[in-house]
Amino acid sequence: MADAGKMRRKYVGRAVAAAAGTAFVREGADAAAPPSTEVAIPGLLPASQMPGSVPEPEIQRARFPEGFLWGAATAAYQVEGAWDEDGKGESIWDRFAHTPGKVRGNATGDVACDQYHRYAEDVALAKQLNLKSYRFSISWPRIQPTGVGKPNMKGIDHYSRLVDTLLEAGIRPWCTIYHWDLPQALEDRGGWPNRDLAKYFADYAGILAEHLGDRITVWAPFNMPWAIAFMGYGAGAFPPCRKSFPDFLKAAHTLALAQGEAVRSVKAASSKATVGSAYEMAPAYPKTGSEADRAAAARYHAMNNVFFLEAAMRGRYPKAFVGETPYEVMGFKEGDEKVLYSPLDWVGFHFYTRRVVSDASGTDGFGGGFSGTEIESDTGSARDPYTRIRAAMPTEGPLTESGMELWPRGIYDIVTQISREYDHPVIEITESGCGYLDAPSDSDNGRVPDTRRIYWYRQVLAELARAIADGARVRAYHAWSLLDNFQWAEGYTERYGLVYTDFRSQKRTIKDSGYWYGRVAASNRLDV
């Protein structure tokens, strides 16, 4: 049997957050200069020598439209802390993190960034960075401690205060209804493979819209529903750590049903609501020109990128399987297609990196595509008789310290592909960012000179600007993350924030990348 911690780290470590005005500079210090193609950046070759890099003149010319929404994203369990305060129930991530050996360094999200108590400070930081959108999630067990029943009003009141603080700062509150922290009591009832959870989730979503829908107008039912199903029930890398491909398929179907039910529930409770998504997506390129690899890349796209999007927009599942869709294994019932069908008002998805995909028929294992590494299991290929894909994350481009390849062209390709396939919907980039461990510099008055992160964003955003220029209707981009935070099974060993968090003192320090991002948000251009 593979070491569970090692396997989990393979996946999670590569996955998956006062106004300064338009003259945005760091008070008392020179702002970090944007890196040109030949500036020496620690750990990186000059851009002109890097595979897949965007030429500097294109970055200089990149522009974003007036009214473009620059934002940042976080998730409740990763930033809030206060894990057992004010009536909050236990979540599956509480249980997981409290189990020795599950999280690197035995870290937990018990305190995390303490945003439950410090949200006003964090909203002020977002305003200082000129952000106009803040994507946050609500903790289900904070609202319904056991996942069912009347709401815990202390939880509702907390999020109501957060929303009011955001609106007072001129920032759009953007709510992810569920970002992985299932009430443990519902997992004890069978978890997401139990289709009863679709109804429970719809009730929960309706409670949120009833109490907050007068002020929140932008909602997404789930963050990365594919990862919820696959990583929790297929790969066993996330709680509840099951390793059953049939359970993965059942969970995926329940999540798709819950998505449809939640769309209707939110809109029934709030006339102001618009509902979209927060899917994980990575452009899939076939490893070779063979028909088998091209077909495998198409299956990857169908399963990993648009499985839930197709369900919502067209009331059906895409052609993600070798052969017929295994409806019986999934627990599909007559009439489910009507529940699935719930057209979204806009489409949201994350971008981090790309995948290179090959056909895995006849092999001893399969790669689910989350991290680019194969899942090791006792049952080998028998665990995936349906999709038969192996997805690898290449290393042709430079790697971040979290192990993900920088391939800027990927965001252009996936944005334009979704635009073509779904009749040019309004798109929001719901998460996008990179992990580097830069820390405050003692030699520079505590400054955090994270030049590599600025480089990453300049490259990726230049390609996003090109997609917009070519007709994609992208209206928002959310950096992951506003703050360094609890990075799931990696604990506190990875840093994705625009703001450095000292987890002992809870002191926040805006990084050079944060100041740079603030200037971009103020000007809609990258050469700032």
pLDDT in tens, the chain (528 residues): 333 343 334 434 344 322 222 223 333 334 444 444 444 566 676 766 778 899 999 999 999 999 999 999 999 999 999 999 999 999 999 999 999 999 999 999 999 999 999 999 999 999 999 999 999 999 999 999 999 999 999 999 999 999 999 999 999 999 999 999 999 999 999 999 999 999 999 999 999 999 999 999 999 999 999 999 999 999 999 999 999 999 999 999 999 999 999 999 999 999 999 999 999 999 999 999 999 999 999 999 999 999 999 999 999 999 999 999 999 999 999 999 999 999 999 999 999 999 999 999 876 555 554 433 344 444 333 457 789 999 999 999 999 999 999 999 999 999 999 999 999 999 999 999 999 999 998 888 899 999 999 999 999 999 999 999 999 999 999 999 999 999 999 999 999 999 999 999 999 999 999 999 999 999 999 999
pTM recorded for the entire structure = 0.92
Largest CA distance in the chain: 67
What was the pLDDT predicted at 385?
Answer: 79
Whole-angstrom distance, CA of residue 307 vs CA of residue 317: 6
Q: Is the peptide bond before 481 cis (omega within 30 degrees of 0)?
A: yes
Contacts of residue 71, Cβ cutoff 8 Å, sequence gap at least 6: 131, 132, 133, 134, 135, 171, 172, 174, 476, 477, 478, 479
What was the pLDDT predicted at 357?
Answer: 97
Please name every residue paired with 508 in a beta bridge, in sequence order, or none if there are none.
501
Torsions phi, psi for 275 (to 5 deg): -120, 130
What was the pLDDT predicted at 30?
Answer: 41
Would you say 119 and 76 are in contact if contact means Cβ atoms under 8 Å apart? no
What was the pLDDT predicted at 383?
Answer: 52
Q: Which structure tokens are listed for 516?
A: 């740079």
- Residue 172 is given by DSSP the state E
Count CB neighbours of 84 within 10 A. 11
Torsions phi, psi for 253 (to 5 deg): -65, -40
Would you say 336 and 348 are in contact if contact means Cβ atoms under 8 Å apart? no
What was the pLDDT predicted at 365?
Answer: 53
> The domain at 4-19+57-306+345-514 falls in which architecture?
Alpha-Beta Barrel (3.20)
Count CB neighbours of 296 within 10 A. 25
Whole-angstrom distance, CA of residue 481 vs CA of residue 153: 28
Torsions phi, psi for 243 (to 5 deg): -130, 80
What was the pLDDT predicted at 241?
Answer: 97
Domain ranges, ordered by start, for the chain:
4-19+57-306+345-514
Q: What is the identity of the amino acid at 188?
A: D
